Amino acid sequence: MWEGADDKLLERMLQFYPGQPPERILDATVNRGRFWRGSTRPVLGMDIESRHRPDVLATGSNIPFKPDTFDVVIYDPPHIPNQGMDRRKDFQVRFGLGTKSSADTNYNFSHTFPPFVCEAYRVLKQEGVLFCKISDYIHNHRFQWAHIEFVQAAMSAGFFACDCIIKVRKGPIIDSRWKTAHHARKRHCYWLVFRKSGRCERPSANS
């Protein structure tokens, strides 16, 4: 369990999970690069949104790199899907979902997980690590188990699921328009850890 900022947690994870200091890191959803404030690590930032000025402009379903390129891939997908007619919450545009959440996709964005994890698996080196920050949420009157769906997609792509860190924030997200609560107010999300390997154990420097 972690109570604190994502960038501090991510640095601890980069020290702990890879077998040796990673030489090439891909942040596949870099946005404004908030994970890397003050960091000197060799990070390549990718995003679908040009206004964030990423190093690489691309989608997670088509990562423009050769196989076995990176030691670590980081993924932080949007935690809330499109919100009806409210254009201020058009997450398709703001966060680059690529396709609108609709009845065909059960009003969530888990359909974006399989193509991404296949690409992440391809561009990671053997024994490489995938970190994913993800949150479950309530949508369309249903609890959406995003972290479970991501684990299932990653394992189907060949990843070995290694760890789950619960990241706690100061308080739950509350809106005055929500008159009645039908689910517990959550104040956490998850950081999931996967390895391109048949084991969880990180390799030694000599392996």
- The pLDDT value recorded for residue 69 is 98
pLDDT lower than 50: segments of the chain: none
Average pLDDT, the chain: 84
Count of CA atoms in the C-beta half-sphere (13 A) of 86: 7
- pLDDT tens for residues 140-194? 677 778 899 999 999 999 999 999 999 997 766 555 565 676 667 677 889 999 9
- The pLDDT value recorded for residue 203 is 76
Say which amino acid occupies 119.
Answer: E
Enter the pTM of the model. 0.85
Closest by Cα among 60, 2, 69 to 31: 60
Q: How far apart are CA 18 and CA 207, in angstroms?
A: 12
- The pLDDT value recorded for residue 92 is 54
Please, what is the angle between helix 146-157 and helix 113-123, to 10°? 40
pLDDT above 90 coverage of the chain, percent: 54
The CATH superfamily label for domain 2-195 reads Vaccinia Virus protein VP39 (3.40.50.150)
